[in-house]
Amino acid sequence: GGKLVMESPSQPSGAPGRRRTLEGNLLTFDFDEEGRLAELQARGRNVTLTLEPAEGTGEEEKRVITRRFEAFFSPETGELTEARCSNGVEFYQGSLRAEAEAGRYDPDIERMTLTEAPKLWDSSVRLEAETIQIDVASGNLEAEGAVRTTFNQEDSSESESPALFPAS
């Protein structure tokens, strides 16, 4: 029953920092020769990563649930460089839900890439493809390979634009 809470400091632009909470049955930390965090692994039935929005931003909380989580950090800056989920992954953001067998998060571009039978849905539409990319900051989506979309007739008649594909 491990729990790690990471709080990023306020940004140079004055934007508030964010809180990330990682919970799992087993947390393993690997450090480099100088004692700096290089890799973090979490395993368990429901390893949960919660990304809390900074106060006043209006962003929604994001949650990732998986069985195996690996995160890699830059020893020089301590910043997250990549995170991988395997053995099943679920992603939640507001009414949006996604699942796949594997996922990868790239913090430089704030993108979650779901692979191996990914599915994504909300109350209006369901999306399946070979790869689904979610821009975590904006909520924009990109799907590639055998893309299939199914609209819920009851909900899609209520508005011109389903919630998954907001009007621009």
Report the number of secondary-structure helices (H) and strands (E) in the chain.
1, 14
For 4, 26, 125, 167, the CA distances from 153, given in Å and listed in that order, are 43, 44, 9, 18
pLDDT tens, position by position, for the chain (168 residues)?
A: 889 888 876 555 665 667 888 899 999 999 999 998 899 999 988 899 888 877 766 778 889 999 999 999 888 887 888 999 999 999 998 888 999 999 999 988 889 999 999 999 998 889 999 999 998 878 789 999 999 999 876 544 444 334 454 433
